[in-house]
Structure 1
Amino acid sequence: MKSTRVCSLLALLFASAVSAESYVIGVENLPFAPHYSIDQQGRYQGFARELFDRFASHSGVQLSYLPLPASRLLAALLEGEVDFKYPDSGNWAQAQKADKALHYSQAVVAYVDGVLVAPKHQGHAIEQLKRLGMVSGWTPWGYQQGIEAGQIQLTYSDDLRTLIRQTLKQDTDGAYFNVVVATHYLDNIRARPGALVFDPKLPHTRGNFHLSTLRHRQLLQRFDRFLLECQEEVDALKDKYRVEANLDSEYMGVEQWKLDFLKRQKAKARLE
C-alpha cells in the first residue's frame, strides 16, 4: 500500500508542476496483443496504451500515439517525426543507430521469442526442425547456423495469422514468434488453445521492451521513476494483460485455466 500512496502523491505533484507538455510516441501498427494492437478506428490499445496513459496522468503530460509500420518507426524517431519509440531495445538495428545518441528507459516488460510446435513434437531435437516459419522482418536468433548450413528452410508469412495457419497445417515444423503473443492469438482469437506449444528446449531469446528517445531524456527519467515508484500498479497491469505470463516456467504463455489443468494432469500421472 505504501508504494501506491507514493504513486498517487507523485501524480498530484507532477500534475501541479507540469502543464501543456505534449509528446508523440511512435508505435507499431500491427496486431501484437496483449502487448498492443490497433483497433478498427485506428486507436492504439492494450497493455502498452494503458501503461503510458497512466504515466501521462501521473506526470501531468499529454501523450498521443502515432501508429506506423514497424519498418518505418526508427526512421520516424531519428527524423523527429515522433518524440519516442515503443517498443525498442539497444540490441535492435544497431547499424542504423551507430552514430545516434539514443536514450532508453528501464525495462518496461520482459519477452521471449521462440518456436511453437505441435504438442507431439515438443522436446524433439533441433535437427528435426527442417522447416521454420516466421513473419517477414523477424530474425530467428539461435537458428542462423542451421539456416546457413541448409539444414533449416525458412518460410515467411506476412502476419501471425498466416504463420499460425501454416504451422497448424504442417506446412512448417514450427512457428518462430513472441511466445505470449502467439499463445494469446491461439487461445483467444483462433480459439485453438494448446494446438501449438512453446518448446523451451529449442533456441529462444529473452529480452525486454524499452521506451526510447533522441531528445527527451528528462521525460524518460520521469518515466523510469514512474516504473519504480508505481511498481505495484505496473505489476497489476502486467497481470491484467498477462504480458509476462509464466515466462519462467515450462508453461510459458499458457492461459491460467489450461495451466491449472496441465498441473492437475501431471499430478495425476505421478500418482498412477
Structure 2
Amino acid sequence: MNSFKVIASIVSRLAIVFFIVAGSYSRADTVVIGTQNFHYYPHYDFTSDNDKGLAWAIFEAFRATTNHEFVYISMPVLRLQKELAKGSVDFIYPDNPKWYNPIISNTLKTFSRPVTKALGGTILRPEKVGAGINEIRRLAMPLGFTPVNWQERVDNQLTHLIQVNDTLNALELIAKNKADAANLEYHVTQHIASQQPTLGKFTLDPKLPHDGVAFMLATINHTELLAEFNTFLVSHQALIKRLHQQYQIKSPEIILNNLSDQYY
C-alpha cells in the first residue's frame, strides 16, 4: 500500500530528526496502549499485522519524537477500562469523557485532545435516503454500542434493534434486506464496502440520527506523557492533516455538508 510506505517514511524521518537533536539514545521506556480489539479501519485496527490505521500512524509519529517504545494490546471494550484501572496498561484508545462505562469514573481519567473525529450515523442504501425515520423499522447495530439516538424509538417498539458482531455483519443484513439501516461509522462503512463490492453501495442519511464524536487517548497515571502528546498534536498539525488525507478521513461537518448537497 503506497500510503503505508509514505506513512512509514514520515515516521522514519521524524525519528532521525529526534535522534540527531537528542544526541544520544537511552534505553526506551515501554508504554502500553490498550486498544479495542475489532476492525475499525481506517480509524484503527490494532489486530492488523501491518497498517493499523490513522490512530496508529499518529501514535507512531509521536513515538518517533520521544525515547519511548509503544506496545499496543488489543482487548474487548470493557476489559480496556478494567486493565487501565489495574495499571496493566498505561493508556487506552479510543475513549471520550462523554462515554459511560461501569468500571472507572471518567473524573479519574485524563483525556487528550481529539486525535480525530468519527461520524456515526444511519447507514442505508442510497435510494433509501430521504424516506424518513418511520421507514427504519429494523436497525442493525454492533455489540458494545448504545443506540442513544434511537433509544426512544426502540423503547416505543417503532424500531426493532438487531445486534450484530461487527460492521460487516450489519452491512450484510442490509444487503439481504433483513435490516432497513444500521447505526455505523461512516468511514468504516465506506472502507468495508470498497473491500466487499458484492454488498453494493451504502451511504449515510444526513437527516436521520447521527453524531460526530471525538476519539481521545486516556490515562490515569501518565499525565505528563499525555501532555507531551497534546503538545505534539498542536505543533504537528500539518502532519496530522496529511495523515488524515492519507487515510481519507474527513471531518463530520464536511461529510454532512457534502451528503446534504448530494441528496437534499
TM-score under structure 2 length normalisation = 0.84
Gap change, CA 1:137 and 1:14, over 3 Å in 2: farther
Match of 1:178 among 176, 180, 185: 185
Q: What is the CA distance between 1:97 and its match in structure 2?
A: 2.7
Gap change, CA 1:121 and 1:179, over 3 Å in 2: same
Gap change, CA 1:95 and 1:215, over 3 Å in 2: same
Structure 2 residue 99 is the aligned partner of structure 1 residue 92: yes
Q: What is the CA distance between 1:60 and its match in structure 2?
A: 2.5
Note the aligned Cα RMSD (angstroms): 2.8
Structure 2 residue 244 is the aligned partner of structure 1 residue 238: yes
Q: What is the CA distance between 1:179 and its match in structure 2?
A: 1.1
Structure 2 residue 219 is the aligned partner of structure 1 residue 217: no
Gap change, CA 1:193 and 1:12, over 3 Å in 2: farther
Aligned to 1:129: 136
Deviations 1:225-246 (A, max 9, x none): 0001111011100110012267
Aligned to 1:36: 44
Contact in 2 for aligned 1:14/1:59 (Cα 8 Å):
no
Distance 2:206 2:21 in 1: 44
Aligned to 1:22: 30
Q: What is the CA distance between 1:218 and its match in structure 2?
A: 0.3
Residue 197 of structure 2: SS of its match in structure 1? coil
Gap change, CA 1:172 and 1:15, over 3 Å in 2: farther
Gaps of 5+ in 2: 1-9
Distance 1:109 1:13 in 2: 30
Q: What is the CA distance between 1:98 and its match in structure 2?
A: 2.5
Structure 2 residue 62 is the aligned partner of structure 1 residue 55: yes
Match of 1:206 among 208, 212, 215: 212
TM-score under structure 1 length normalisation = 0.82
AA at the equivalent of 2:121: G
Q: What is the CA distance between 1:93 and its match in structure 2?
A: 2.1
Distance 1:10 1:205 in 2: 39
AA at the equivalent of 2:197: A
Aligned to 1:144: 151
Q: What is the CA distance between 1:194 and its match in structure 2?
A: 6.2
Residue 32 of structure 2: SS of its match in structure 1? strand
Gaps of 5+ in 1: 255-261, 267-272
% same residue: 27
Gap change, CA 1:40 and 1:112, over 3 Å in 2: closer
Distance 1:158 1:99 in 2: 27
Gap change, CA 1:157 and 1:112, over 3 Å in 2: same
Aligned to 1:161: 168
AA at the equivalent of 2:40: F
Q: What is the CA distance between 1:61 and its match in structure 2?
A: 1.7
Contact in 1 for aligned 2:95/2:216 (Cα 8 Å):
yes
Farther off after superposition, 102-111 or 57-66:
57-66
Matched residues, number:
249
Residue 25 of structure 1: SS of its match in structure 2? strand
Q: What is the CA distance between 1:170 and its match in structure 2?
A: 1.1
Deviations 1:152-174 (A, max 9, x none): 10111112111110011110110
Aligned to 1:197: 203
Distance 1:108 1:65 in 2: 16
Contact in 1 for aligned 2:19/2:25 (Cα 8 Å):
no
Aligned to 1:114: 121
Gap change, CA 1:222 and 1:154, over 3 Å in 2: same
Gap change, CA 1:31 and 1:94, over 3 Å in 2: closer
AA at the equivalent of 2:246: K
